[in-house]
């Protein structure tokens, strides 16, 4: 399952839900959190619970409300029986939040007759300044699938705008972005980049997505269907790069005990093998 482009849709809007589910995004995030006001939480939760069971399309993620909110457990109890692909945990403050969520999901999976561990977790781990002190997810439960970068909420917590007039992040947000990438690499998890806020700027989106792919992100969160194509293109390796990666993999298969192999006159190390495998995974089928 690829996670190049995850499209958000407010769970309390039938029109936007259906448009997202028909969009062709790698996965759709039905949002019970920021996109839904307090008076609409119950309606949105029921809509998702009614939608999930028996869907032909399984790439559905539900963003629940934060742990500790009055809606968190109600969200889980409602959506787990429908077996979404994953839940997205916002405002994650560290590994203890993931461990607690893992236990809650485990109990609810057993109660619903679902295989334990089937529902994965994506975590938004940079939405507050305090959360940046808990960016160590090594040894997390195996259902944790990816770490997600959230620039807008973090900027609000800091009392700043996330991007300057030139479109680049301010120093605190850039530092958090780098820390997220390092934390994801240390935990052996993919990192997903923050949404680009303005669907009317496709060139700026394409530039930001390309920079994210270059820096090591595996995908990007999206807030509009028009963003899906450019983001997918940015995170899909070109044919020439895939061909190089396959040659590297084949060279090490031919010499499985080698630490270094010669490829087209150049010395290739095992660090290049890891890069090659990542490229092939990114280009492979869903």
**Residue ranges for the binding site for Mg(2+)?**
153
| Cβ contact 204:227 at 8 Å | no
3-class secondary-structure state, position 63: strand
> Residue 182: enclosing H or E segment and its boundaries?
helix 171-187
Q: Which residues contact 203 (CB under 8 A, 6 or more apart)?
A: none
Bridge partner list, 122: 88, 146
| Cβ contact 80:49 at 8 Å | no
Distance CA 130, CA 141 (A): 22
Q: Output helix, strand, coil percentages for the chain, rounded to the nearest 5.
A: 45, 15, 35
Alpha carbon of 185 to those of 8, 120, 232: distances in Å?
25, 18, 21
Distance CA 184, CA 172 (A): 18
| Cβ contact 78:47 at 8 Å | no
Distance CA 118, CA 113 (A): 11
Residue ranges for the known binding site are 153
């Amino acid at each position: 399952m690829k996670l190049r482009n995850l499209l958000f849709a407010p769970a309390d809007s039938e029109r936007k839900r259906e448009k997202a589910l028909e969009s062709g995004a790698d996965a759709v995030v039905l949002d019970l959190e920021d996109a839904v006001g307090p008076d609409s939480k119950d309606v949105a939760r029921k809509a998702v619970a009614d939608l999930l069971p028996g869907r032909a399309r399984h790439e559905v993620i539900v963003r629940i409300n934060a742990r500790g909110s009055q809606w968190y457990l109600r969200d889980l109890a409602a959506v787990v029986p429908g077996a979404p692909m994953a839940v997205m945990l916002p405002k994650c403050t560290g590994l203890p939040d993931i461990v607690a969520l893992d236990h809650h999901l485990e109990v609810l999976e057993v109660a619903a007759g679902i295989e334990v561990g089937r529902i994965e977790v994506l975590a938004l781990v940079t939405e507050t300044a305090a959360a940046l002190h808990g960016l160590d997810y090594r040894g997390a439960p195996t259902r944790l699938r990816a770490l997600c970068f959230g620039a807008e909420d973090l900027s609000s917590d800091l009392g700043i705008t996330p991007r300057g007039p030139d479109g680049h992040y301010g120093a605190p947000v850039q530092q958090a972005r780098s820390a997220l990438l390092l934390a994801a690499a240390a935990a052996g998890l993919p990192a997903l980049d923050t949404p680009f806020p303005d669907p009317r700027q496709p060139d700026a989106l394409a530039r930001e997505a390309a920079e994210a792919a270059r820096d090591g992100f595996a995908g990007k969160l999206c807030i509009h269907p028009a963003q899906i194509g450019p983001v997918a293109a940015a995170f899909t390796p070109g044919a020439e790069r895939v061909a190089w990666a396959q040659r590297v993999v084949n060279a090490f298969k031919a010499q499985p005990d080698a630490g270094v192999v010669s490829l087209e006159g150049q010395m290739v190390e095992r660090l290049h093998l890891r890069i090659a495998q990542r490229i092939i995974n990114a280009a492979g089928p869903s």
